[in-house]
Amino acid sequence: MRLVVVGAGAIGTLFGALLQRAGNEVTLVARPEHASAIQRDGVRLEGRTAATIPVQAVPTLPDGLVVDAALLTVKTFDVPSAAAVFAQSARTPTVVAALENGLGVEEAAEQALTSAGWSAAGDWIVRGINSVPAMLVGPGVVRHAGEGELLLADYKSGKHAEVLARAFRAAGISARVTEDREREVWRKALVNAAINPVTADHGIPNGRLLLDPYRGQALQLLDEALSVAQAEGVRFTDTDAQRELWRVVRATAENRSSMLQDLDRGRRTEIDSISGAILELGQRRGIALPATARIVQRIHAREPRTDPGVTRLA
């Protein structure tokens, strides 16, 4: 397949490099220093996968791009602009797989692609729900940091998820199609709502959440997020949610969460599309979420005032 990875940070670079190694034709669109290191030396993978893989990498999306699919691995808040820039570059509708964390990602992509003139834009969108952990070590260098799985779901009536899942599996990435997109999006959002803000606030790897006081804080956030999920009609019990939380914490114990990696780099985080989105849904339903409200404020206070983000892709 011909693939473009729009916003190749840790996860996009890991996936793009593995897909290229498996025989796909991949272009990574990445921040300039990352793109030029890859163009010069290839992608260097460490950890679970140790390899150097030559991949085409550019700092901006080429015009008139012809690909079979775009993987959007930008931050959630950059999905609308990345989708719009891709639509302009691709000219004709093509599969767009959005692999971000958080709630409302596919809706945001659909809106942007529709505004760019695509009809039935939702049929081109695949939602990716990823728990393969990866860390950007430096320009061109990514650590494959543990076990995880990529779930793929067609958003509307399109039938693209299986084709992508096959390509990912052929590249050695554990990937499968799910028919229950909403439940899986929530399952991941619950885990992210508990892991990401606590690890980011305290500067700790995921595995430290097994210890108090972090354990208690993560459980409190999980509990609040779960009350919103349940009110939204997603059927998870406390036991389901806790089992999933500790499973992911153990599988990604040495990983620094994506939110912590963002703060480490002085970048804006995805707090608004994870805990912020849950808080907003809770407020609409009159559910009090005091711990979530506090952590949203604490993470915002740690964020930089500006982050150019995807505007570099235009």
Nearer to ligand KPL, 156 or 265 (CB): 265
The answer to the question of residue 248 lying near ligand KPL (CB under 6 A) is yes
Instruction: Based on the shown chain and the rule CB under 6 A, indicate whether residue 192 belongs to the binding site for ligand KPL.
Output: yes
List the interface residues with ligand KPL, window 82-101 (CB under 6 A). 101
The residue (of 82 and 121) whose beta carbon lies closer to ligand KPL is: 82
Q: How far is the CB of 271 from ligand KPL (least distance, A)?
A: 11
Tell me, yes or no, if 159 is annotated catalytic: no
The answer, yes or no, to whether the previous bond of 213 is cis (omega within 30 of 0) is yes
Q: Which of 255, 269, 273, 275 binds ligand KPL (CB under 6 A)?
A: 255
Nearer to ligand KPL, 196 or 227 (CB): 196
Assess 252 for contact with ligand KPL (CB under 6 A): yes
Burial (CB < 10 A; 0-12, 13-18, 19+), residue 297, is exposed
Q: Which DSSP helix (H) or strand (E) runs through 152?
A: strand 150-154
Task: Find, among 278, 261, 268, 6, the residue nearest to 133 by Cα.
Answer: 261
Report which of 130, 124, 172, 167 is spatially closest to residue 25, judged by C-alpha positions: 167
The helix or strand, by DSSP H or E, that contains position 74, with its residue range, turns out to be: none
- DSSP assignment of 16-44: HHHHHHTT-EEEEE--HHHHHHHHHH-EE
Site for ligand KPL in 99-118 (CB under 6 A): 101
Strands 134-138 and 141-144: antiparallel
Nearer to ligand KPL, 149 or 223 (CB): 149
Is 76 a binder of ligand KPL (CB under 6 A)?
no
73 binds ligand KPL (CB under 6 A): no
Helix pair 290-302, 277-284: axis angle to 10 deg: 150
Residues contributing to the site for ligand KPL (CB under 6 A): 101, 131, 133, 192, 195-196, 206, 248, 252, 255, 257-258
Enumerate the active-site residues: 188
